[in-house]
Structure 1
Amino acid sequence: MTGTAAGPVEINPWLRMGPCTPDDCVEPPAALAGPLHRVARLLAAVLVLLAGLSIALATRRAGTAWRAEITRTWARLLLRALGIRVRTTADVAFYTEPQPAPTAPNARSAPTAPGQGGALLVANHVSWLDPLVMAATVPSRPLAKREIGEWPLIRTLAAGSGVLFIDRERLSALPLAVATVTNALKAGDTVIAFPEGTTWCGRGMGEFRPAVFQAAIDAGAAVRPATLRYREGDSTSTRCCFVGDDSLLASLLRVTATRHLVAEVTLFAPVRLAPTGQRRHEARATLARIAEAQVRAGVVEHHEERAEQREERADACVPGRRREMAPLSP
């Protein structure tokens, strides 16, 4: 019996595999849209996409800031056509003088509002809708894998919105990808990245890979963590997730069949690393941990809060189930 020896495995910091699958994670909708409603949503989305082609062609030579604002409006229209409302909230420290993150003494906050100067905006990754949601929230340029640029329709839309294409398949292309993001940040652009490198269903998240954070360090730009959630009413929704072997068509049909979907984005205070003499790999790993901790706290806190609310409602509705009450004050 003969065999071949396995060669060295190249670990790619851009590519990861998450544990979520459609069968395990996708739940039935809280409210199902009717057939006519679903068709109307799909037709409206097609119309917005076609309009986007014309807009993309007209804005290819436009300035980055103006193009980002147009993309922001277009992304909101497309999400609305699909039945998704976008809601943005901000951590209190985002608009006041923020304090350094307690878990990282070598980090400092940068009190800058979205859209003022270049920044690396990083968030947890749930769905193919995420870049649209973030673009609808903050004028920005998303990262996308190079293969998307080979799709005729998507290529035109992406070019019009200022997408930065990176090669995620080859580890040797990593320095060029980091340099591309660095140049965009130095030019004053806000760049959207999803450092997990894969998608989760929204009830948890993976680790942030540090590679893209090197661009923020090289450009001297702030990192702005953001938590992204999809909700149906008061509950976390997994209807928008795009995980495992899910297909784009199946995910799209699932979204259009769900009523009352809300994409909620929470923006946290921007963070920069204070000079400490750390090595490059140590600095970017530290920055990744700081950003991940803020985003993870938002994901976990939100999910646990919604779970507690569901349990309280269940306690109130189940006959014969008694709830503990605080004793009355004398």
Structure 2
Amino acid sequence: MSVALPRARQVPLAGWLRIAVRIAAMAALLLICVPLFHAWKPFTRHNPWPRLFLRGVAWLAGVRLRLRGEKVHRGAFLLANHVSWIDIPAIAGVTGSAFVAHDGLASLPLLKWLCELNDTVFVARHDRTSIAAQVQAVRTALSDTGALTIFPEGTTSDGTGLLPLKSSLLSALEPLPDGIAVQPVLLDYGPEAAAVAWVGDEHGLDNFLRILARRRPVDLTLHFLPVLTGSELTSRKTIAAAAREAMLATLAR
């Protein structure tokens, strides 16, 4: 049994054993967290179990997290670069954040269900007629979850640089809702970024399995950069430009 992987690499037997053990552990964790999620649901808007599950997924996948900077604890709109599926459990596990995702994920029943448990907001990037409704959905999610993350590059990069940030994805921040802090977050995978990244024509499932097959841990540093202020918040374009500049400056260190 094999998967098409970059540079024609094949998963060795030991890798498949690691995949099997890690997926089984993730499934067991899900079976524990889902009943607890429903037990907590009537009593709180900030259900902790989806984020605890995602934190567990990151740990089971072999992710070793390091944190730099001060993260906003409530009312945070996080703008992060996007390298791999690992980004999502890592950010959620550390911040308790929900996410903004493109509506293509909603066509996959299992992924849609998991995303909805974590209060994901689905947006249709090419449906201009629904922008007002989508902006309202994002603002409601910010109020309900306390933290919301978007990947404004619009796709994944190889982790060694940064793609342009699409200001159109930040429409919900114009004008900026009261009490919301906009904070750039840089995900830094260090020298192994290219080995972790989901880029090119690699299938998402292949990237998922390739990470789970690794013997070495995945080292990931989350840099919580200074909250944007003043003229940086004038419009979605200034927000995108300021966030990208802060990320690039940190990546270049």
- Normalised by the length of structure 1, the TM-score is 0.65
Whole-angstrom CA distance in 1 between matches of 2:238 and 2:14: 45
Cα separation, partners in 2 of 1:34 and 1:194, compared to 1, 3 Å? closer
Which of 177, 199, 203 is the aligned partner of 1:219?
177
Cα separation, partners in 2 of 1:63 and 1:88, compared to 1, 3 Å? same
Deviation at residue 297 of structure 1 after TM alignment: 1.9
Deviation at residue 203 of structure 1 after TM alignment: 0.7
Structure (1 or 2) with the greater helix fraction:
2
Structure 2 residue runs without a partner (length 5+): none
Cα separation, partners in 2 of 1:47 and 1:186, compared to 1, 3 Å? closer
Whole-angstrom CA distance in 2 between matches of 1:174 and 1:243: 28
Q: Residue 253 of structure 1 aligns with which residue?
A: 209
Q: Residue 114 of structure 1 aligns with which residue?
A: 72
Is the contact between residue 201 and residue 238 of structure 1 (CA under 8 Å) also seen in structure 2? yes
Cα separation, partners in 2 of 1:145 and 1:209, compared to 1, 3 Å? same
Whole-angstrom CA distance in 2 between matches of 1:285 and 1:40: 45
Q: Residue 236 of structure 1 aligns with which residue?
A: 192
Deviation at residue 152 of structure 1 after TM alignment: 2.7
Amino acid paired to 1:218: L
Deviation at residue 39 of structure 1 after TM alignment: 2.8
Is the contact between residue 81 and residue 151 of structure 2 (CA under 8 Å) also seen in structure 1? yes
Deviation at residue 64 of structure 1 after TM alignment: 3.1
Q: 1:198-254 CA deviation, whole Å, 9 max, x = no partner?
A: 1101011111111243323331322100100224xxx33323311222112211221
Q: 1:115 is paired with a residue of what secondary structure?
A: coil
Whole-angstrom CA distance in 2 between matches of 1:56 and 1:169: 33
Deviation at residue 256 of structure 1 after TM alignment: 1.4
Amino acid paired to 1:222: A
Whole-angstrom CA distance in 2 between matches of 1:247 and 1:165: 21
Q: 1:107-143 CA deviation, whole Å, 9 max, x = no partner?
A: xxxxxx5223x12101111112222211011022111
Amino acid paired to 2:236: R
- Normalised by the length of structure 2, the TM-score is 0.83
Q: 2:236 is paired with a residue of what secondary structure?
A: helix
Q: Which protein is bigger by CA-based radius of gyration?
A: 1
Which of 38, 41, 44 is the aligned partner of 2:25?
44
Which of 146, 165, 174 is the aligned partner of 1:208?
165
Cα separation, partners in 2 of 1:39 and 1:60, compared to 1, 3 Å? same
Structure 1 residue runs without a partner (length 5+): 1-21, 95-112, 302-330
Same amino acid, percent of matched pairs: 26
Whole-angstrom CA distance in 2 between matches of 1:188 and 1:38: 32
